[in-house]
């Protein structure tokens, strides 16, 4: 039966259930053990699984990411926590040049069933160098799967799917959502990659997003409904693989599309979706695809400037009105 738990608890439950089921699964990262996790995601896991399976590391992302990749090549199933995905840039050679290519370069001899997870994106006044949205940067690399959970239910199911997956998975959480509560079944379950979720059905405009901005899309849709504009909101769940078929199906119904992406606009996920929708829905669209991204500037530290830089419900409302010629 579902019960209401926090996003961080859903993540912990997914990891713990997988670790109970499979002794090959282990968690490694900075402060995951003795400190119970920088954001308390791994609270209590050291007590249950011990220091051989919940492992504190030095501040050396390149080192422990590489260790995890080697362990995965030898048959284990590591979960590597980056305190922030901004810090993953230190390990770029390991996570982008080794993990995604290992199966291909070894001729199928060595897979890499590893999960890299942690906090992604701005919103917590952490400054420019700690506020990266890495999905646009990393999605360019073949061989990786990239997942952005939106709710506690999605977080648990998607993380279990990630841990069981035979390929490298980048699991992008949001520190701003860790305290969010939602209904989550106690028993193990999986949520598939590459299958978008219709959060809200509508007929007048399709709004597509991933991760935290999905909640801004819902807020915008509720505002627009008061003006008689009925929006369909899609939670893409994963950007690699991308459920373009679900997006196309929705756009062919509504004839308008707005893509909301928390990353910068140039060479972004929203750019790719817009390109594919224009190609596949050219005769269905009554206007070009509109995009709402973070502003093309480094993330400010000041709270008011940071909030203005990010996608928000007001910007989405304006984009939908512009797309549907009701600005």
Q: Which residues are catalytic?
A: 61, 130
Residue 173: which of 154, 160, 190 has the closest Cα?
154
| Rounded alpha-carbon distances, angstroms, from residue 22 to 9, 15, 102, 131, 163 | 20, 10, 23, 34, 10
Classified as helix, coil or strand, 222 is helix
For residues 55-74, one letter each, b for 16 or more C-beta atoms within 10 angstroms of the residue's C-beta and e for the rest, the string is: bebeeebeebbbbbbbbbbe
Encode 255-276: b = buried (16+ Cβ within 10 Å), e = exposed: bbbbbbbbbbeeebbbbbbbee
C-alpha distance across the termini of the chain, in Å:
45
Rounded CA-CA distance 95/232 in Å is 35
Contact 139, 239 (CB under 8 A): yes
Q: Where are the alpha helices (DSSP H) in 74-225?
A: 92, 102-105, 135-138, 152-164, 213-225
In Å, what is the CA distance from 326 to each residue of 204, 256, 316?
A: 11, 12, 13
In 10 A of CB 50, how many CB atoms? 11
Cα–Cα–Cα angle for 317, 318, 319, nearest 5°?
A: 90
Angle at 222 between CA 221 and CA 225, to 5 degrees: 85
């Amino acid at each position: 039966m579902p019960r209401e738990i926090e996003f961080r608890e859903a993540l912990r439950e997914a990891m713990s259930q997988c670790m109970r089921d499979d002794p090959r699964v282990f968690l490694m990262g900075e402060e995951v053990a003795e400190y119970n996790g920088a954001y308390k995601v791994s609270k209590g896991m050291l007590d249950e699984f011990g220091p051989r399976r919940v492992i504190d590391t030095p501040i050396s992302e390149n080192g422990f990411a590489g260790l995890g990749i080697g362990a995965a090549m030898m048959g284990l199933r590591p979960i590597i926590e980056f305190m922030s995905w901004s810090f993953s840039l230190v390990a770029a050679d390991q996570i982008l040049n080794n993990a995604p290519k290992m199966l291909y370069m070894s001729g199928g001899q060595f897979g890499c069933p590893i999960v890299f997870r942690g906090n992604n994106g701005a919103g917590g006044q952490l400054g420019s160098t700690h506020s990266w949205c890495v999905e646009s940067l990393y999605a360019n690399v073949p061989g990786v799967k990239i997942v952005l959970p939106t709710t506690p239910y999605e977080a648990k199911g998607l993380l279990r799917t990630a841990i069981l997956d035979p390929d490298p998975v980048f699991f992008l959480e949001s520190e701003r959502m860790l305290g969010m509560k939602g209904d989550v079944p106690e028993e193990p379950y999986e949520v598939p990659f590459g299958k978008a979720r219709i959060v809200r059905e509508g007929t007048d405009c399709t709004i597509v997003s991933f991760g935290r901005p999905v909640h801004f899309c819902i807020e915008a849709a509720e505002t627009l409904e008061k003006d008689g504009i009925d929006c369909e909101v899609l939670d893409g769940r994963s950007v690699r693989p991308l459920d373009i078929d679900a997006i196309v199906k929705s756009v062919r119904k509504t004839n308008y599309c707005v893509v909301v992406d928390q990353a910068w606009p140039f060479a972004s996920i929203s750019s790719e979706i817009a390109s594919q929708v224009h190609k596949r829905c050219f005769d269905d669209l009554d206007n070009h695809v509109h995009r709402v991204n973070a502003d093309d500037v480094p993330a400010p530290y000041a709270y008011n400037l940071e909030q203005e830089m990010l996608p928000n419900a007001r910007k989405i409302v304006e984009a939908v009105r512009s797309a549907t010629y009701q600005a």
